[in-house]
């Protein structure tokens, strides 16, 4: 009888544990604060102990707290024909651990991962399609995949995004002691994180990491979230063997294994290119002609095939088909330049608005884009080969100011792309405003944009008239109605400058106040941006782009009206730039308003965030300055 009672007690104990082992009740309030989801338990095992094979196992349990957390579901696998999915399973529980749904591998959705403009892609994605009916809910996800690429060992992010917290995360990397991985840690300080090295495995553990709250104007998330990167000195990429312990060796492997044999082009094309550049004496002039030839004859289209998507199409195929992706078009341009004796570097980088650089001291598979570097002594001219529109040497805000990997005859080297200082990112505007007696205004607007500000404007040239008008209405939405009577847009690709010449009629430029008028002095470049208040900010302040605006506005007052006084001049200096407005009377019926603003990029201590808010608040305030013109 006693034995029977003990068995019953054990049964209920096991049943209770099975129902409550995953429960929101077991999660502390510290981990739900600022979180949309909580990673209750995660175990990742990466096994590269067998040469040329990577096995990846993951078991994770995550509580989705609200609708915003649905994007944290992460029950998906990207794969290709070289990847074998060995296991795929998921359970959905309610917040108390009661099972709601069970998904086997066949229940997952399997679709092409083509991006909509790829014509060749063997990439696919398999994912869990689940529509929740209540919150919170719990996802238990188990997967195992195997492939023959050990060059790209998955990073460990115990917290892999904002508004996510973690109760427990474990990452185990198994390896051959004769091929021990290198690893690099970032942002681990201040957390319950440990890394243990054994003869044939590295064990990473993390416990009770609270959610990171997203804060505007922060550095790249990889500079904030704790993470660890891994790399093997001896590796494979889709079965292609390689060895590299530094960037120099990595570049040599790229040159010999990935880029070797892709530089063939028809002799007819070589003759054509040589004929085009025959009258030029400098490498720059020749390179400009080759780049122009590229833009006129080929177009960009994504092609994700060939050694894990890293090997470019043959240059001869690009020549024949007149299309290619960033790898293929950069390689094609390099091949054309080689044909006329101009050296160039195949260049791998991270392309994004935030400046993400290659790690100078930790070589591993990195990057998401390829451009071309054309050396001239110590200077390198960078070419974006995927665009049929951008000028020679212009790489824009997605590729500027970052460390990249160039493949040279001597191996891989880290180089830095062009930096666009604020004075090169200049918008210089001359504006004339003639106020009419009914409060309307006839204006002429002449503005020249350069540097990164050129990148904001040059695509206007490709729009039809209706879309151009729509663009300006969106840009100047602070103006209460206006008509563009004339416009002339000039794209000077040699000087990399874009000129806008417009005649604009503003029917309600001034507001009537009795017999007088209240008129804005700044209508075409008004800034209302003020960063949001953030209490107890955690992250550094990062300003990613810098620029300079100069506006000179001449305002003509109608006959019968006068100006009793000019507004005060204002000048604001800060660590982040400067701002000034000045007023000058040119004649009895004409005044001049000048506005000058400089914003400087940089990373600043978190304590400076409120100072930056105050700086931008002053700009927004002074940009609202108005004048009163009185009847005489």
State how far the Cα of 413 lies from the Cα of 373, in Å rounded to an integer: 12
**What is the rounded average pLDDT of the residues 304-331?**
86
Domain 244-416 has CATH 3.10.620.30: yes
Question: What's the confidence (pLDDT) of residue 81?
Answer: 85
Distance between CA atoms of residues 141 and 62, nearest Å: 8
Alpha carbon distance 241, 428 (integer Å): 54
Res 301: pLDDT: 86
* Bridge partner residues of 572 (DSSP): 579
The answer for residues whose C-beta is within 8 angstroms of residue 279's C-beta and 6 or more apart is none
Listed in order, the ranges of the chain carrying CATH 3.10.620.30 are 244-416
Would you state the structure tokens that stand for residue 403, as one six-digit string? 């460390």
Per-residue confidence (pLDDT) for residue 8, from 0 to 100: 36
Query: Does residue 4 carry a pLDDT above 80?
Result: no
Taking only the tens place, the pLDDT of each residue in 251-269 is: 999 999 999 999 999 999 9
User: What is the C-alpha to C-alpha distance for residues 614 and 619, in angstroms, rounded to an integer?
Assistant: 9
Whole-angstrom Cα distance, residue 256 to residue 630?
78
pLDDT band at 14 (very low <50, low <70, confident <90, very high): very low
Q: What local confidence, expressed as pLDDT, does residue 392 receive?
A: 97
Average pLDDT over residues 269-292: 96
Q: Give the per-residue pLDDT at 19.
A: 44
Report whether 445 contacts 505 (CB < 8 A).
no
Convert the pLDDT of each residue in 429-467 to its tens digit.
999 999 999 999 999 999 999 999 999 999 999 999 999
Tell me what pLDDT residue 304 has. Answer: 58
End-to-end CA, the chain:
111
Q: Which of 45-49, 442-446, 503-507, 585-589 has the lowest mean pLDDT?
A: 585-589
Tokens of 203: 């064990």
Based on its alpha-carbon atoms, the radius of gyration of the chain, rounded to whole angstroms, reads 30
pLDDT in tens, 335-368: 999 999 999 999 999 999 989 999 999 999 999 9
Distance CA 555, CA 524 (A): 13
DSSP class per residue in 458-513: GGGGGS-HHHHHHHHHHHTTTSS--EEEEEEEEEETTTTEEEEEEEEEETTSEEEE
Average pLDDT, the chain: 93
For residue 112, the model assigns a pLDDT of 83
% of the chain exceeding 70 in pLDDT: 94
> What's the CATH number for 426-631?
2.60.120.1130
From residue 329, how far is each of 121, 264, 266, 316, 443 by CA, in Å?
A: 17, 13, 16, 11, 45
Gap between the Cα atoms of 338 and 328, Å rounded: 15
**Residues 95-113 pLDDT 10s:** 999 999 999 999 999 998 7
pLDDT at 114: 61
Q: Residue 564: what pLDDT?
A: 84
pLDDT of residue 345: 98
Q: What is the pLDDT of residue 115?
A: 46
**Structural element, H or E, at residue 320:** helix 315-321
Distance of alpha carbon 237 from alpha carbon 240, whole angstroms: 5
Q: Write the DSSP string, 17-48.
A: HHHHSS-GGGS-HHHHTT-SEEEEEEEEEEEE
pLDDT of 6 higher than 60: no
Maximal C-alpha separation, the chain: 111
pLDDT at 498 over 90: yes
Give the per-residue pLDDT at 55.
98
CB burial string 605-621: b at 16+ within 10 A, e below: eeebbeebbebbeebee
Q: Where in the chain is the domain with CATH 2.60.40.3140?
A: 20-231
CATH number for 20-231: choose from 3.90.1300.10, 2.40.50.140, 2.60.40.3140, 2.40.50.100.
2.60.40.3140
CA distance linking residue 346 with residue 295, whole number of Å: 18
Please count the other Cβ atoms lying within 10 Å of the Cβ belonging to residue 629.
23
Q: Where does the chain hold its CATH 2.60.120.1130 domain(s)?
A: 426-631
């Amino acid at each position: 009888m006693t034995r029977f009672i003990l068995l019953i007690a054990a049964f209920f104990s096991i049943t209770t544990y099975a129902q409550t082992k995953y429960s929101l009740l077991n999660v502390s309030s510290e981990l739900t604060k600022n979180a949309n989801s909580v990673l209750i338990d995660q175990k990742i095992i990466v096994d590269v102990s067998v040469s040329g094979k990577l096995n990846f196992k993951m078991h994770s349990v995550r509580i989705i707290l609200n609708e915003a957390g649905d994007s944290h579901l992460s029950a998906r696998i990207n794969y290709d024909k070289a990847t074998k999915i060995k296991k795929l399973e998921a359970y959905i529980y309610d917040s108390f651990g009661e099972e709601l749904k069970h998904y086997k591998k066949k229940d997952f959705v399997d679709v092409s991962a083509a991006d909509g403009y790829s014509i060749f892609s063997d990439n696919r994605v398999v994912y869990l399609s689940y529509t929740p009916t209540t919150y919170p809910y719990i996802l238990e996800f188990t997967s195992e995949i195997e492939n023959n690429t050990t060059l790209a060992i998955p990073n460990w992010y115990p917290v892999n995004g904002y508004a996510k917290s973690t109760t427990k995360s474990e990452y185990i990397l198994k390896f051959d002691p004769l091929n021990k991985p290198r690893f690099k840690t970032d942002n681990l300080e201040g957390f319950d994180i440990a890394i243990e090295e054994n003869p044939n495995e590295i064990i990473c553990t993390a416990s009770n990491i609270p959610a990171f709250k997203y804060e505007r104007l922060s550095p790249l998330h990889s500079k904030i979230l704790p993470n660890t990167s891994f790399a093997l000195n001896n590796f494979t990429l889709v079965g292609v063997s390689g060895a590299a312990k530094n960037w120099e060796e990595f570049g040599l492997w790229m040159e010999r294994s990935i880029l070797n044999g892709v530089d063939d082009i028809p002799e007819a094309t070589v003759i054509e290119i040589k004929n085009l550049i025959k009258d030029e004496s400098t490498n720059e002039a020749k390179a400009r002609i080759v780049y122009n030839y590229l833009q006129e004859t080929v177009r960009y289209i994504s092609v994700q095939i060939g050694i894990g998507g890293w090997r470019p199409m043959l240059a001869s195929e690009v020549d024949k088909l007149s299309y290619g992706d960033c790898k293929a078009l950069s390689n094609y341009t390099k091949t054309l330049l080689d044909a006329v004796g101009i050296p160039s570097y195949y260049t791998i980088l991270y392309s994004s608005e935030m400046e993400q650089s290659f790690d100078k001291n930790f070589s591993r598979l990195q990057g998401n884009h390829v451009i071309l570097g054309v050396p001239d002594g110590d200077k390198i001219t960078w070419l974006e080969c995927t665009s049929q529109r951008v000028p020679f040497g212009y790489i824009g805000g997605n590729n500027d100011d970052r460390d990249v990997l160039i493949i040279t005859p001597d191996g891989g080297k880290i180089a830095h792309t062009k930096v666009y200082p604020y004075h090169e990112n200049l918008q210089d505007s001359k504006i004339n405003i003639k106020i009419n007696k009914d409060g309307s205004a006839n204006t002429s607007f002449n503005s020249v944009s350069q540097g990164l500000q050129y990148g904001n404007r040059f695509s206007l040239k490709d729009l039809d008239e209706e879309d151009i008008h729509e663009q300006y209405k969106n840009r100047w939405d602070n103006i209460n109605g206006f008509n563009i009577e004339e416009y002339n847009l000039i794209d000077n690709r040699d000087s990399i400058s874009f000129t806008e010449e417009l005649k604009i009629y503003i029917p309600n430029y001034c507001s009537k106040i009795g017999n007088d008028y209240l008129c804005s002095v700044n209508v075409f470049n008004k800034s209302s941006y003020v960063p949001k208040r953030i209490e107890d900010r955690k992250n550094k302040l990062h300003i990613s782009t810098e620029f300079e605006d100069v506006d000179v506005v001449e305002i003509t007052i109608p006959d019968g009206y006068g100006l009793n006084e000019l507004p005060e001049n204002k000048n604001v200096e800060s660590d982040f730039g400067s701002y000034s407005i000045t007023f000058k009377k040119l004649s009895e019926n004409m005044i001049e308003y000048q506005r000058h603003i400089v914003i400087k990029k940089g990373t600043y201590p978190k304590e400076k965030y409120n100072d930056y808010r105050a700086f931008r608040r002053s700009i927004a305030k002074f940009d609202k300055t108005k004048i009163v013109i009185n009847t005489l």
